[in-house]
Structure 1
Amino acid sequence: MKKIGIAGIGNLILRDEGFGVHTVKYLIDNYIFPDNVEIQDIGTAGIFMAPFLEECDPVFVIDVVDIEGEPGSFHYYDLGDVKAGKFQTRMSPHQLGLLEILEVCKLRDAAPEHIEFYTVIPSELTESVELSEIVAGRMVEVAEMIVTRLTEMGVNVEKR
């Protein structure tokens, strides 16, 4: 039986790029999850994300998104949106994108069928380990969306 995966993606030293990493840390620090929920700070792991994806279904990905819009605004996507090219899934120009990583998982007959993306538009991508004020304000909101989604699925998540 596969676990439910929560993946925080991003570069922690590029301010808002670290949104996903900060959010999973917040989840770990503030909630108690059952054993069937796997939470990972994926960072910029790229292809090394494959084993996590193969062990989990569904997967909830928390990241920033490079689209036009108001910095700090929240955007939800599903796997169909990714396949339709509605947003960039590469963590950097030097890494494989999520679709390519999923293809590797498919070759091993272990790709997750359900992936949801919880994203915000970054405000600042400067050298810093702190989120900008506007993006930091979204961290708790997105974390609570994930907890609500898990609760809807019948997963018992407790506040610390």
Structure 2
Amino acid sequence: MTTPQKKKIGIAGIGNYILRDEGFGVHVVHYLQENYEFPDNVDIQDIGTAGIYMAPFLEECDPVFVIDVVDIEGEPGSFHFFTLDDVRAGSFQMRMSPHQLGLLEILEVAKLRGAAPKEIEFYTVIPLELTESIELSEIVNAQKTAVAELILNRLTDLGITVSRK
């Protein structure tokens, strides 16, 4: 009998890159990829607005760190951390766009296949502007390196060594 392969640690940048702050998660992932070398057991992906196409990534990774914007009351540019339990409790809505499947539905597909991650953490900011632009607003851009540092610290907590390029 073979032992199951250990899952990778997943880092997913979610968002629409051409809608200014909506692309925050993608910007953070690009920043990490441009500035750091990750070991083979870390899968860092620009998921964009891939929706259901995110299922294989979720099935291959555990834990998963999702970087995105969040639609909640609060100050634009403010950082908010959530767990999968928060999402399941309805504390906030994770949907990459109105016409796509939400993350919970995608997780259910992975669960049916017996491959859903047990741990998902959400690193989010409240957007200021959702206009056509590939540049983040100043207030949201100010959070990019801070959130990247949180992800790097979390990897260190898990015993993962990441080196600067």
TM-score scaled to structure 2, two decimals? Answer: 0.96
Deviations 1:62-111 (A, max 9, x none): 00000000000000000000000011111111001000000000010000
Alignment correspondent of 1:47:
52
Alignment partners' CA distance in 1, 2:38 and 2:101: 30
Alignment correspondent of 2:29:
24
| 2:107 maps to 1:102 | yes
* Secondary structure class of the residue paired with 1:116: strand
**Partner residue of 2:17 out of 12, 18, 23:** 12
Supply the AA of the counterpart residue of 2:102. Answer: G
| 2:132 maps to 1:123 | no
* Secondary structure class of the residue paired with 2:23: helix
Alignment partners' CA distance in 1, 2:153 and 2:87: 23
Alignment partners' CA distance in 2, 1:28 and 1:52: 17
| 2:117 maps to 1:112 | yes
The alpha-carbon deviation at position 159 of structure 1 amounts to: 1.1
**Partner residue of 1:93 out of 98, 101, 118:** 98
Alignment partners' CA distance in 2, 1:13 and 1:88: 21
Alignment correspondent of 1:62:
67
Alignment partners' CA distance in 2, 1:2 and 1:137: 32
Q: Superposition RMSD on alpha carbons, in Å?
A: 0.4
The alpha-carbon deviation at position 58 of structure 1 amounts to: 0.2
Deviations 1:45-76 (A, max 9, x none): 00000000000000000000000000000000
Alignment correspondent of 2:143:
138
Supply the AA of the counterpart residue of 1:60. Answer: F
Deviation above 6 Å: which 4+ runs of structure 1? none
User: 5+ residue gaps in structure 2?
Assistant: 1-5
Identity %: 76
| 2:83 maps to 1:78 | yes
| 2:163 maps to 1:152 | no
TM-score scaled to structure 1, two decimals? Answer: 0.99
| 2:41 maps to 1:36 | yes
87-96 vs 56-65, greater mean Cα deviation: 87-96
Supply the AA of the counterpart residue of 1:46. Answer: G
Supply the AA of the counterpart residue of 1:89. Answer: M
* Equivalent pairs, count: 160
